[in-house]
Amino acid sequence: MSDNIWYFDDVNLFNVMCPHKTGDFGKNGHFKEYKKGETIYFTDDPSSTLYLVASGKVRILNYSEAGDEVVKAILGRGEMFGELALLGEEKRNEIAEAMDDNTIVCPVKIDEVHELMQENQEFSFKIYKWIGFRMRKMERRIDNLVFKDVRSRLMDFIKELSLEKGLKVGNTIEMEHFFTHKNIANLIGTSRQTVTTTLNELRDEGLIDFNRRKIIVKKPNEF
């Protein structure tokens, strides 16, 4: 597990929390492994821990009053979840579920994070900045679901992905990704078939190219 390093902005969370607090961090069973479909926490579970994804994928979801599944986020290696506990959440208001076999997460007690935040003002500032970013991202998703059509929602998803993970290559932007068409459909509130059809339309128009692991934005100015 020597390469498990998490960053938000220029703060290396693993290095801050590991050698600074305990040399055994990440050893002796500290990391938790889950199988595909296994629940990490349920709604109404106590909010006493945040988690970092070491490998695999985790999805954050809720269910509507009608029983429909609502996927709020799909997270991969290096991303954090359960962070609302830092803002005083006492019970979970969402479900976290492993999406892959051998999904490994690192649980970190909220009390430990609070202690680090008291000791390190810059670390505290970065944590809150990151949480604010996540909340704004969720607000944009809700606005998109209410006010935009599927094509616009998909283009916004690609634009957001390019800003977060994109690498400029000449006049294009390339980004590795781990989302299936079904994953994308869950996140933008449509069907897998509609995502596939719309992606193919965008490719036929010369706006993007894509394969299973990469999306290339060929005309960034049109997003």
Strand pairing class (214-217; 69-75): unpaired
The per-residue pLDDT of the chain, averaged, comes to 85
Q: Per-residue pLDDT tens for 84-138?
A: 998 889 999 999 999 999 999 988 888 888 888 888 787 788 788 878 888 888 8
Percent of the chain predicted with pLDDT > 90: 50
> Which backbone phi and psi does 14 adopt, to 5 degrees?
-60, -45
Quote the CA–CA distance of 35 and 38 in Å, as a whole number.
5
Q: Per-residue pLDDT tens for 61-99?
A: 998 888 888 888 999 887 889 989 988 899 999 999 999
Q: Is the pLDDT reported for residue 3 higher than 60? A: no
3-state class percentages of the chain: helix first, strand second, coil last, to nearest 5: 40, 25, 30
